[in-house]
Amino acid sequence: MTRAISLHDVSKSYTRGTRVVDRLTLDIEPGEFLVLLGPSGCGKSTVLRMIAGLEEIDEGELLLDGEWANDLLPADRRIAMVFQNFALYPSMTSRDNIGFPLRIEAPGEDPGTRVDATARMLGIEDLLDRFPAQLSGGERQRVAMGRAIARHPSAFLMDEPLSNLDAKLRNHLRAEISGLTRKLGVTTVYVTHDQAEAMSLGDRVAVLRGGVLQQVGTPRSVYSLPRNVFVAAFIGTPRINLLRGVVRAPLDGAMTISLGKQYLRLPEPLCLDHQLLRVQQGREVIVGLRSEAVRIAKPASARPGEVHITGLVEHVEFQGHEVLVHFNTGSRPAVVPDLEAPRPAPPVRRRRRDSGSVLERLRNRAGALRAGPVVALEHPADDAHDPAPPEGRLPGDLIVRTTPDFDLRHGMHVPLLVDLAHLFVFDQHGDRICPAPARLPDLEE
């Protein structure tokens, strides 16, 4: 029997009162495969350990099948956990490692039948008499999974079980885990910092940042409609292009988004999402473009909704089946400073005389309190002379995915077409304002 897991306003703090999990609310349906995704130190494993009963919950409540379970002993939760480091007993054979929890639960029963059935399911019958030191990393992970499966749990908790394996083996075991959990129909909560694993495995993906839940949804919806700039930047390979722009909305002319030396002219008549950008007149925003939202083509071949810009080739990455081209368009990249940091940087509070209206000050303060600032935008005057990009940043400001057919070399000027149907616009706090949050466009388009 599988089980439903619910977390309501759950928080966890360690030393100095720092919250590693902050008011997390999440409902996991019976039989669902949910992936907790986020950078290192964002609280993913802590959430998993609270569900398992290995960590106490400081605030909030955990419900298992609708029943309060905060103080329930780990052994009474009927949950099996697979750890990152396999956690096998080195002095026991694979057979004994798999059967050990069964002997603890029912001392008088012979676990041999369930161990053999589990081994057949995982294809490790030939490994049952070997010790962990005689197994490869992938074989050890299968034994660790067998120990969890043999218990017939109501839920699986997996804490980055593939992170210690090589890339080829990870891809193979990823497919095995997906097929096995769907066959068993057991609720699974899977922790990873690898967005490729999250997108390929999960029925839903929950993105965490600094202990705060940023967004939860299907892999497709999270990729297609990121709630904020952090989710947009964390999910997707290559990383989304984030450019600093200024909205220009004159009453007697076309609306544009200035990107520095070039601009995006929004097609008329304006769609509803673009009409709502008028309230951002004169404000600096963050423009998000996936690599597939831009293509190499001449202006004459533009489709409806595409606008023309040009780019200077800075770098070409040949991937075999595709090519990633780094262009310099004269735009100013936006920075997500804490994308890989364990915790968001605390907001810097400064008193200013010219801080604007009371409403504007309250809006800025509310934005800073949402798990810290997501994106750092300096004042436009700070980079008016186009300073050199920070050390370590990839060349160019726009990455475009294309086919190997194009013969591109460093220094070439290339015409580009931007599909405005796939344009994201975020405000200075990193929240998505286009497409409008209240409207969900058809993902089949």
Helix (H) or strand (E) holding 131: none
State yes or no: pLDDT of 54 exceeds 70: yes
Helix axes 94-105, 112-122, angle to 10 degrees: 130
Are 334 and 244 in contact, with CB atoms under 8 Å apart?
A: yes
* Phi-psi sector, 320: left (phi>0), alpha (psi -120 to 50), beta: left
Helices within 19-89 (DSSP H only): 44-52
At the second CATH level, the architecture of 5-224 is 3-Layer(aba) Sandwich (3.40)
* Contact of 162 with 142, CB cutoff 8 Å: no
pTM above 0.75, yes or no: yes
- The residue-averaged pLDDT of 23-43 equals 93
- Encode pLDDT of 90-106 as tens digits: 999 999 999 998 888 88
Average pLDDT rounded to a whole number, residues 224-253: 91
Distance separating alpha carbons of residues 212 and 340, to the nearest angstrom? 15
Weakest mean pLDDT among 26-40, 86-100, 314-328, 329-343: 329-343
Looking at residue 38, what is its pLDDT? 92
pLDDT at 369: 43
Tokens describing residue 105: 């639960």
Tell me the average pLDDT across 139-143.
87
Average pLDDT taken over every residue of the chain: 84
Q: Quote the pLDDT of residue 395.
A: 73
366 is written with which tokens? 């509310």
Q: What is the pLDDT of residue 376?
A: 53
Task: Give pLDDT tens digits for 250-279.
Answer: 888 889 999 988 999 998 888 888 888 888
| Rounded percentage of the chain residues whose pLDDT exceeds 70 | 85
Q: Where in the chain is the domain with CATH 3.40.50.300?
A: 5-224
Contact 397, 243 (CB under 8 A): yes
Confidence of residue 169 (pLDDT cuts 50, 70, 90): confident
pLDDT at 179 (0 to 100): 86
Band (342; pLDDT cuts 50, 70, 90): very low
Do residues 423 and 293 touch, judged by C-beta distance below 8 A?
yes
Number of CB atoms found within 10 A of residue 141's CB: 26
Q: Identify the band that residue 287 occupies on the pLDDT scale cut at 50, 70 and 90.
A: very high
- The three-state DSSP-derived secondary structure of 269-281 is CCCHHHHHHHHHE
pLDDT at 364 over 50: no
pLDDT at 386: 45
In this structure, are residues 219 and 194 in contact, taking their beta carbons and an 8 Å threshold?
no
The per-residue pLDDT for range 177-217, each reduced to its tens digit, is 888 888 888 999 999 998 889 999 999 999 999 899 999 99
Per residue in 368-386, pLDDT (tens digit) is 344 555 655 654 434 444 4
Query: In this predicted structure, what is the pLDDT of residue 265?
Result: 93
Looking at residue 387, what DSSP letter applies? P
Report the candidate in 54, 146, 138, 52 with the shortest Cα–Cα distance to residue 92. 146
